[in-house]
Chains A and B, each alone.
Chain A
């Protein structure tokens, strides 16, 4: 029973962090109708930024977020402005997918050039044995708790922004109908750029927590993006609650397979769940039918 509880706790806490990254991805999809394939490598970039701030300037990673989040926000807006906005025409969707892939390759190449392919892991207070709390006979690192809290905080902020502010209203209007939103005077381009910026900015937080709990190198981006894609497809693309639910569910399943079967197969089970769900429910768990019928 202890191991079961532990696996579920780990899964839920880690799932929250994946949920945060996936919310960014699903927001971009909802507003711009594109998939930001670069989201995975941007998480890794966020992790490296935190790493650099810690090793060179000794800035604690939670404090470092004050720098990395605005930096990633600017990166997101720039990518949208330079590479996504100019795309027009019938193949816009597939072209934007490839544009994001190209951005991912560039970031990956730059990271390899600077940091090499060795795995990096932080060694500071948050990864030390002191930073743990004992619950029911096993030690839970603080970073899991604080990372989860951070993810919850950001998701609540995003929800608040979406449902309680004028800007959030424009985002939701744009998600529902681009043309109509433009007709009633919403600057759709501005909404798209800021949404992209926000969605990329949350990867800074996600990357920080990810980097603290897991060793990473530039190649980790592929692993992350494939998981995130599986999560948002499972949750129903464009659905924020769905992304959160799917993230927690998938990571919990993975962590249970880890404990009860074999860590080697947990990732296979992860994707197999995705395939199975799509066979029976092509619109994802929480997706609306009309949203899928594109």
Chain B
């Protein structure tokens, strides 16, 4: 069948293209152009846009396979659906997850549309996750068989429609095997390093991205504010709430007898509350905009495992849904519940769905 492969120019998606090609499918490579290139490229000519490197890597792989490759310009959509919400979230004291937004709004909506426009039956990506069908024909989403590579957390927003059109050929493969395939197929990208960070924050400097976005909109960055402890005592000053995330302990610039962590970031009052590790724990949280892989919320009081950030190990909890709002109670107190992060729910290796963390529950609320 005709399959579009979403190609970043990295080793994973390149191997997907190679495997699909070997399996006899008619492969079309598509690379999303998500942002402007470097300053050097921008200076090249009027209308210059092209970070040619990764795109060229993808094209080189497609050329070697003898399959067509196209670039889709999603710069506007990426800015509106991912980068600006990312910056806004920091302004509101949240710690956002842009990869989920990109998956929901671009990769598994717009790009699936483009794949269909090109007559493709499926969109294959290099994600480490698995799609299966249950006895009644519903699609189910599962963790990758290599838990160290699992990316199912970022895919909780996929609904039945999206899952019916995607393929994750690497879901059953350890990374070492992917590299081995790349070498066996002679792909130029076989030894290319993995990208670990958020693609538009390659140096990890989130605050600067927030400031850049604000500047582009003619707004100023959040001003300084106070760092306080849970009793309201002022311990110092900070340079803007967008520099802080719950659970952070580096770069606080304040000291007390014990090691201090960010407990809360309150944007309206520009206050960062810090405290000891014991104070970092909470009993549960409220979450909004829940979505479920099979379309239905789990029945009230469903016990499952929740991961509250991408590298979280997952802890047992009870979920109750009220429309798209969730109340989640941990079986045991858990540290660093962070506003703006995705909470993703699992039963065994199956993804039920997920939601966006709104706030931690106080002990009193949790007891109700």
Task: Indicate whether A and B interact.
Answer: no
Binding site for B on A (CB under 8 A): none
B binding-site residues for A, Cβ under 8 Å = none
